[in-house]
Amino acid sequence: PAQTRAEAAKSQASRAEKAQSQPKVIIFDTTLRDGEQSPGATMTHEEKLEIASLLDEMGVDVIEAGFPIASEGDFAAVTEISKRSKNSTICGLARANYKDIDRCWEAVKHAPSPRIHTFIGTSPLHRAIPNLNMDEMAQRIHDTVTHARNLCDNVQWSAMDATRTEHDYLCRVVEIAIKAGASTINIPDTVGYTAPRESADLIAMLLQRVPGADGVIFATHCHNDLGMATANSLAAVEAGARQIECTINGLGERAGNTALEEVVMAMKVRNDIMPYRTQIDTTKIMNLSRRVSSVSGFAVQFNKAIVGKNAFLHESGIHQDGVLKNIETFEIMRPADIGLTAHNISMGKHSGRAALRSKLKELGYELADNQLNDVFVRFKALADSKKEVYDEDLLALVADEATND
Ligand code: KIV
Ligand code: ZN
C-alpha cells in the first residue's frame, strides 16, 4: 500500500535521525594539490579559487589547497583560498623540514580553520632518498611535527608509502607523530599497491597496537594504479579510518587518486551496509566534476562511475522501457542525487517505441499512434546508420512526418 504523507515524513525524519548517530567520515579533498600535481593538469590562480569555493559550498571538510613551498603561484593560491574560506578547514602540504612548514603556515594561517600537513616517506625505498636511518628518521618526525604543532593546533602527519613500510617501524613512527601533537595520521597507499583486505588490516593493526591511536583520526589516501582506490578507501573506513583523502573525478598522478564522487555516493547509496555519513551535498557533484574537467583539461571517461557521460544513460530498449516505468529498475541512484536534471535516454538502434514516445514528448511532440509508428520505422532506419540519434535528428523526422501528412 502507498505510504501516506505523514508516514513518509515520519520515516524521512527517522532516517535523518539515524544518519546523525552514524560515525562521520571526514572528506579531505586534494584536487588542488595531489590532483593538480598530475602532469598537464595545472590550473590558473582564478580557477583554483573557483574550485575551492565550490568545494567549500559542497561541504568538503578539509580542502588541501596546495603545496606552498613548491612555487610562488601555489603560495599565492593557498593564501587566497585561506582568506576566502567559509566552512572548510584549509590545509597546505609541507615536507619534513622547518622551511617547508614555516612557508605552509604563512599561507594557511589566514583561514578560520587552518591545518598544516607534513609528510615523509617511511618505507625502505623512501628512507633511502634522504639517506636517513630508522632512528634519524624517527627523530626528524618528532622534530618536524613538534615544530608544526607549535605554529598550528591542527597538524596532519603522513607516512608516505605507508602500505610498503614495515609494520613495527610504522607503529613506532605513528606513535612518535601522535606524541609530538599530530591529530590526524594519514596512511597513504602512495603507489596504489594495496588491496581492500590489506588496507583494512593495516588500519586495524595501527588502532590496536599504537598507544594513543584512539585519540586521533586515521586517514586513508589511496592511489588508483590497480583500480582499487575506492575499494581500498572504503575498506579502511570499515576498519576504523575516519578521513578519506580524494579528488574530484579521481584526478591525480598516474592512474589518479580515490574519486570523491565514488566514495561519497557509495556510502550514500549503500548506507545499509556502510553506515557512515558525510556532510557532502551530493547535488553539487556534477557541476564540480564538469568544472574540474574543464579547468584541468582532463576529460572524464564516458563510462566513469557516477560522473561519466554514460553513467545514467540507457540505450537498450529493455532498459529504457524499465526506467520509463520505474526508475529503480535499472538505476541504483537518481540522476538528481548528483545534480543531473534530465533523465538520460540515449536514442539509438536498441531503443524501443516507448522510449521514442517519451523522448518526443520531452521535445514537445505527442504523436498519434499511427504517426508514431511511421516515425519509429524511419527512426530505426536512421539508427542503423549512425551511433546515436540526436534530438535534432528526431525533430527532422517529426517535421518530415508532418509534411507527408
Ligand atoms: O600519495 C602520497 O603519499 C601523498 C602524500 C604527500 C600524502 O600524496
Ligand atoms: Zn598522493
Pocket test residue of 115, 221, 243, 251 for ligand 1, highest count of atoms within 8 A of CB: 221
Write out the chain in H/E/C secondary structure: CCCCHHHHHHHHHHHHHHHHHCCECEEEECHHHHHCCCCCCCCCHHHHHHHHHHHHHHCCCEEEEECCCCCHHHHHHHHHHHHHCCCCEEEEEEECCHHHHHHHHHHHCCCCCEEEEEEEECCHHHHCCCCCCHHHHHHHHHHHHHHHHHHCCCEEEEEECHHHCCHHHHHHHHHHHHHCCCCEEEEEECCCCCCHHHHHHHHHHHHHHCCCHHHCEEEEEEECCCCCHHHHHHHHHHCCCCEEEEEHHHCCCCCCECEHHHHHHHHHHCCCCCCCECCCCHHHHHHHHHHHHHHHCCCCCCCCCCCCCCCCCECCHHHHHHHHHCHHHCCCCCHHHHCCCCCCECCCCCCCHHHHHHHHHHCCCCCCHHHHHHHHHHHHHHHHHCCCCCHHHHHHHHHHHHHHC
What angle, 0 to 180 degrees and rounded to 10, lies between the N-to-C axes of helices 285-296 and 260-269? Answer: 170
Dihedral sign, Cα of residue 150, residue 190, residue 52, residue 295: positive
Retrieve residue 274's grid coordinates.
556502510
Burial of 81 (0-12, 13-18, 19+ CB in 10 A): buried
Is the distance from CB of 25 to CB of 277 less than 8 angstroms?
yes
Residue nearest to atom 5 of ligand 1 (CA): 160
Q: What is the pTM of this model?
A: 0.85
CA of 191 to the centre of ligand 2 (A): 8
In single-letter form, the type of residue at position 169 comes to Y
pLDDT computed for residue 1 by the predictor = 43
pLDDT computed for residue 401 by the predictor = 79
Residue nearest to atom 2 of ligand 1 (CA): 190
Residue 19: CB atoms within 10 Å: 15
CA of 90 to the centre of ligand 2 (A): 17
For the CA of 121, the closest atom of ligand 1 is 3
**What is the chain's alpha carbon radius of gyration, rounded to the nearest angstrom?**
25
| Cβ 117 under 6 angstroms from ligand 1 | no
Longest CA pairwise span in the chain (Å): 88
| Cβ 188 under 6 angstroms from ligand 1 | yes
Pairwise CA distance, residues 283 & 339, whole Å: 4
Residue nearest to atom 1 of ligand 1 (CA): 190
Q: What residues in the chain have per-residue pLDDT under 70?
A: 1-5, 8, 315-317, 319, 323, 327-330, 342-345, 404-405
| Cβ 160 under 6 angstroms from ligand 1 | yes
**ipTM of the complex, rounded to two decimals:** 0.99
Pairwise CA distance, residues 155 & 145, whole Å: 7
Q: Which ligand is nearest to the CA of 251?
A: 2
Pairwise CA distance, residues 318 & 203, whole Å: 44
| Cβ 34 under 6 angstroms from ligand 1 | yes
